[in-house]
Amino acid sequence: MQRKQSNKLYKEAKKYFPGGVNSPVRAFKSVFGSPLFIEKGNGSKIYDADGNEFIDFCCSWGPLILGHNNSKIREKVISAITSGTTFGAPTKLENELAKLILQNNRFIEKLRFVSSGTEAVMSAVRLARGFTKRDKIIKFDGCYHGHTDYLLVKAGSGLATFGTSSSAGVPESFAKETIVLPLNDKEAVKKAFENFKNEIACVVIEPIPANNGLLLQEKSYLEFLREITKANGSLLIFDEVISGFRVGFCGAAGFYGIQPDVVTYGKIIGGGLPVGAYGSSEKIMSCVSPDGPVYQAGTLSGNPVAMSGGIAQLKECLKKGFYQKLETKTQNFVTSINKFAELQGYKLKVFTVGSIFWFAFTELEKVQTSEQIDPKSMEKYKILHNELLKRGIYFAPSGYEVGFVSSAHTSKDLTKAKNAVFESLKFVFKND
Ligand SMILES: *Cc1c(COP(=O)(O)O)cnc(C)c1O
């Protein structure tokens, strides 16, 4: 595989950007080689600067549920752009996207558009704090909620109750407002609510944690979170930036049939353009400025170009059988790999929900907490990633990241990918 142009571009990019990238995981630090510079995408495929073609399972980390360069999205976006890109005043396209979402989602009554997932979660937490007039929040080890200060917090060591910042530049005083707990542990949550009675504004969770492996939780656990937050006057925030419009139009809330207080969206909601949103009941949303005291704003929020991307994409998602078809495709792909791995005696399990999958080099039947992921298993992912690239298959450049199947992936693509995985696994397990 030729990487001459990508390497050249990367060398130049390193002069301009820290690590040569504008978002860290793109830098290929967790896999072999350096990043491929992508020139174009079409359907399930991407093409790099050296002309290599790949079937893409990263899909820009989730947004591209229709694949690359979808004609419906392209046409709608182009049509919007010819009338101007932003006005800083309302446009009817905002109404159109909001209506499309609210009419088909029984879990929220009102929403606010922002420009990223980070912004959506940050605003949702502020809303929860403003609504409850409390400061502390609970988050979980193994969930990612964007790069807001008080969400870049990991569990403190030993018996420490409060989190410590997981990034330089986050004041310890901010981290102290965040309580970090392990997933799938009801007792830990109960204890936190006992220790901080009437102090906890919200529990924020990825109901389908998919940023640190795919750590599928029990429905009963999510129901427990629903009950304990309600009993304590705290809000339950479902961060559905990945799961929203992915495991079904109503995301994980719909998938599990659990009503959260606030939901956040990103990724798919913008059809590949920068859109995020947070939504809730009319009552809670009435706290948001200018109706209420919780301030939140955005120069480019709800701009017509981004809205158009979202409208075109979500209209496709609403078509009958869309999610069923996507899920069946994904499950067949995953099942064949799991069967192959079992037959060969490989220590590999592919976990999946909807059109999300995650390759876990483990013997465990379930992986539900970040602690259950063996960091050493990532060495295996590195080999897999590299072997797959050689065979024209693009997976995310980190073993902690999940893969996505889009509606553009054909059965031919999936057969090719499956065979490439089979061949690559031989190299992964060569020395076992
Ligand atoms: C990607 C992601 C975010 C952050 O979204 P950005 O658009 O990258 O700011 C937040 N929460 C979850 C669950 C995500 O997957």
Ligand 1 pocket at CB < 6 A: 116-118, 121, 144-146, 206, 211, 239, 241-242, 266
Binned at pLDDT 50, 70 and 90, residue 277 comes out as very high
**pLDDT score at 19:** 96
**pLDDT score at 71:** 98
In the reported structure, the alpha carbon of residue 118 is separated from the centroid of ligand 1 by a whole-number distance in angstroms of 5
Closest among 44, 63, 1 to 416, alpha carbons compared: 44
pLDDT in tens, 86-101: 999 999 999 999 999 9
Please confirm, yes or no, whether 239 is among the known catalytic residues: yes
- The angle formed by the CA atoms of residues 107, 113 and 116, to the nearest 5 degrees, is 105
Any idea how long the chain is?
A: 432
What is the end-to-end Cα distance of the chain in Å, rounded?
A: 27
Judgement on whether residues 190 and 295 belong to the same structural domain of the protein: yes
More confident call, 19 vs 164 = 19
Report the CATH number at residue 262: 3.40.640.10
Report the CATH number at residue 366: 3.90.1150.10
Residue 160 pLDDT greater than 60, yes or no: no
**pLDDT score at 162:** 73
Residue type at position 329: K
What is residue 167's three-state secondary structure? coil
Judgement on whether residues 258 and 389 belong to the same structural domain of the protein: no
| Location of structure tokens 């590195």 | 382
pLDDT in tens, 185-225: 999 999 999 999 999 999 999 999 999 999 999 999 999 99
Residue 413 pLDDT greater than 90, yes or no: yes
Averaged pLDDT, 249-260: 98
Instruction: Give how many domains the chain has, as a whole number.
Output: 2
Judgement on whether residues 230 and 109 belong to the same structural domain of the protein: yes
Q: Which of 10, 144, 381, 400 is catalytic?
A: 144
Q: Which of 267, 329, 349, 380 is catalytic?
A: 267
**pLDDT score at 164:** 86
Whole-angstrom CA distances from 293 to 107, 130, 133, 287, 349 are 23, 8, 11, 6, 48
The residues, any chain, with a CB within 8 Å of residue 360's CB and separated by 6 or more, are 213, 214, 348, 349, 350, 351, 367, 373, 377
Please confirm, yes or no, whether 221 is among the known catalytic residues: no
Averaged pLDDT, 249-256: 98
116, 118, 125, 147: which to mutate for ligand 1, most atoms within 8 A of CB? 118
Residue 79 pLDDT greater than 70, yes or no: yes
Averaged pLDDT, 358-384: 97
Residue 364 pLDDT greater than 70, yes or no: yes
pLDDT in tens, 169-194: 999 899 999 999 999 999 999 999 99
pLDDT in tens, 24-64: 999 999 999 999 999 999 999 999 999 999 999 999 999 99
What is residue 16's three-state secondary structure? helix
Percent of the chain clearing pLDDT 70 (strictly above): 99
**pLDDT score at 98:** 98
Between CA 53 and CA 51 the distance in angstroms is: 6
Cross-strand bridge partners of residue 422: none
Averaged pLDDT, 108-133: 98
**pLDDT score at 82:** 98
Strand order from edge to edge, sheet including 53-56: 38-42, 45-48, 53-56, 393-394
Q: In what helix (H) or strand (E) does residue 113 lie, and over which residues does it extend?
A: strand 110-114
What is residue 192's three-state secondary structure? helix
Ligand 1 atom closest to residue 117's alpha carbon, by position in its atom list: 5
Ligand 1 atom closest to residue 206's alpha carbon, by position in its atom list: 13
Averaged pLDDT, 129-140: 98
Last residue of a domain, one of 286, 317, 348: 317
In the reported structure, the alpha carbon of residue 334 is separated from the centroid of ligand 1 by a whole-number distance in angstroms of 25
Residue 161 pLDDT greater than 70, yes or no: no
Residue 158 pLDDT greater than 90, yes or no: no
Judgement on whether residues 270 and 286 belong to the same structural domain of the protein: yes
Residue 49 domain boundaries: 4-69+320-428
Q: In what helix (H) or strand (E) does residue 45 lie, and over which residues does it extend?
A: strand 45-48
Quickly list H helices, 82-152.
Answer: 92-102, 117-132
Please confirm, yes or no, whether 267 is among the known catalytic residues: yes
pLDDT in tens, 234-244: 999 999 999 99
Whole-angstrom CA distances from 291 to 38, 236, 296, 392 are 44, 22, 11, 52
In the reported structure, the alpha carbon of residue 342 is separated from the centroid of ligand 1 by a whole-number distance in angstroms of 33
Last residue of a domain, one of 300, 317, 334: 317
Judgement on whether residues 240 and 293 belong to the same structural domain of the protein: yes
The residues, any chain, with a CB within 8 Å of residue 222's CB and separated by 6 or more, are 205, 207, 256, 258
CB environment 63-95: b (16+ within 10 A), e (fewer):
bbbbbbbbeebbebbeebeeeeeeeeeebebbe
91 φ/ψ sector (left φ>0, alpha ψ -120 to 50, else beta): beta
In the reported structure, the alpha carbon of residue 336 is separated from the centroid of ligand 1 by a whole-number distance in angstroms of 30
Q: For residues 157 and 165, is the Cβ–Cβ distance under 8 A?
A: no
Judgement on whether residues 197 and 292 belong to the same structural domain of the protein: yes
Percent of the chain clearing pLDDT 90 (strictly above): 96
Judgement on whether residues 304 and 355 belong to the same structural domain of the protein: no
What's the mean pLDDT when you consider all of the chain? 97
Residue 318 pLDDT greater than 70, yes or no: yes
Between CA 314 and CA 312 the distance in angstroms is: 6
Judgement on whether residues 62 and 145 belong to the same structural domain of the protein: no
Judgement on whether residues 335 and 277 belong to the same structural domain of the protein: no
